[in-house]
A and B are shown apart, each in its own frame.
Chain A
């Protein structure tokens, strides 16, 4: 079945550092790929998505590229801020009316 694997956490960075969070998936065909973010005490918010190979999703300075050849969707940001401290989830879906399959999530803490 489908699965999503995220790098182990937590991750602690200093403000303005470069961020990479690895995500790989196992699925047949061409699922849609997502990054969701959960700020402390809140629900999940969509951060970005990509629906086909080589698509790049971007939002709030974050980027991720759908790499079919490596089955990856790594999240990057050039300069993190304290306000980026949150839990980040990678997920995949097989389309409308389909469930999301989530990775375990990774906690990011950014120090001033």
Chain B
């Protein structure tokens, strides 16, 4: 298993540009989520999904869009990048209620470091 993978690892954008951060997991996990990590603020939830075709907003959803067309993939789209979106972005997944037992342990990808100029 590759676990949770994210691409790209680093990205620099200009204000107003759009881009998609990719996230994929090969563990057949039901639950997937996106967090951003900012100094002194821990991790904050942007969007999450409890299964293919189902997404919902987290604490800081403004300026971001998500979709979940397959169990494996959960891309995060920045619609019009702003300097306030400079951050490290983490994708995470967990089994949820799938399978024989549920678990709330989340598994994180390596992160994407995004800078918006």
Q: Do residues B104 and A93 form an inter-chain contact, with CB atoms below 8 A?
A: yes
Let me know if A44 is at the binding interface, CB within 8 A. yes
A97 cross-chain contacts in B, Cβ below 8 A: 30-31, 50, 94, 96-97, 102, 104
CB nearest to A4 among chain B residues: B42
Q: Contacting chain B: which of A11-19, A68-76, A77-85, A100-108?
A: A100-108
Given known pairs A102-B42, A105-B42, the reply for A96 and B97 (CB within 8 Å) is yes
Given known pairs A43-B109, A43-B110, A104-B41, the reply for A99 and B94 (CB within 8 Å) is no
B80 to chain A, nearest CB (A): 26
A contact residues, total (Cβ < 8 Å): 23
B94 cross-chain contacts in A, Cβ below 8 A: 96-97
Let me know if A89 is at the binding interface, CB within 8 A. yes
Q: Do residues A95 and B109 form an inter-chain contact, with CB atoms below 8 A?
A: no
B88 to chain A, nearest CB (A): 9
A sample of 8 cross-chain residue pairs with beta-carbon separation below 8 angstroms, ordered by A number, consists of: A44-B92, A44-B108, A89-B42, A93-B106, A97-B31, A97-B102, A99-B48, A100-B35
B102 cross-chain contacts in A, Cβ below 8 A: 95-97
Given known pairs A96-B103, A97-B30, A102-B43, the reply for A43 and B96 (CB within 8 Å) is no
Q: Do residues A44 and B105 form an inter-chain contact, with CB atoms below 8 A?
A: no
Q: Do residues A99 and B58 form an inter-chain contact, with CB atoms below 8 A?
A: yes
- Other A-B contacts than A89-B42, A98-B104, 15 sampled, CB-CB below 8 A, are A4-B42, A36-B108, A43-B108, A44-B90, A46-B106, A93-B106, A94-B104, A96-B31, A97-B30, A97-B31, A99-B48, A99-B58, A100-B43, A100-B106, A104-B40
Let me know if B45 is at the binding interface, CB within 8 A. yes
Contact of A89 among B43, B58, B111 (CB under 8 A): B43
Let me know if A59 is at the binding interface, CB within 8 A. no
Let me know if B75 is at the binding interface, CB within 8 A. no
